[in-house]
């Protein structure tokens, strides 16, 4: 294996695996999932990570009680954005 301090492919994959709480890559190599299963696993892991990160961050903010996070989950636009016509020049 390469030096763990270097910015190598194996180091990057281990960091991503740890960050998103994915199973070890060895398991995936021994029993490869289908493309659909792999994409679903990744999407769920990334969504779970960012939802927990957002909730942890919001719990430290005093004005966060005004944000209804349960009505706008990660991966879906807030109701405010879906209720208006998409006009990018007005949003900017």
pLDDT in tens, the chain (92 residues): 545 567 788 888 889 999 999 988 888 889 999 999 999 999 999 999 988 888 888 888 888 777 766 555 677 776 767 777 767 666 65
pLDDT at position 83, please?
Answer: 74
pLDDT at 69: 62
Q: Write out the two tokens for 53.
A: 């990160």
H or E element in which residue 38 lies: helix 35-59
pLDDT for 8: 87
Q: Which two tokens stand for residue 42?
A: 């990744």
Spatial contact of 28 and 56, defined as CB atoms under 8 Å apart: no
Residue 54's alpha-carbon distances to 16, 29, 51, 57, 71, in angstroms, are: 18, 32, 5, 5, 14
Task: Specify the pLDDT at position 75.
Answer: 75
């Amino acid at each position: 294996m390469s030096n763990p301090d270097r910015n190598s492919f194996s180091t990057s994959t281990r960091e991503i695996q740890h960050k998103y709480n994915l199973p070890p890559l060895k398991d995936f190599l021994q029993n490869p999932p289908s493309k659909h299963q792999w994409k679903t696993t990744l999407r769920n892991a990334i969504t779970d990570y960012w939802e927990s990160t957002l909730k942890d961050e919001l719990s430290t903010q005093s004005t966060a009680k005004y944000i209804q996070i349960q009505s706008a989950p990660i991966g879906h636009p807030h109701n405010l954005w879906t209720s208006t016509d998409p006009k990018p020049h007005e949003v900017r």
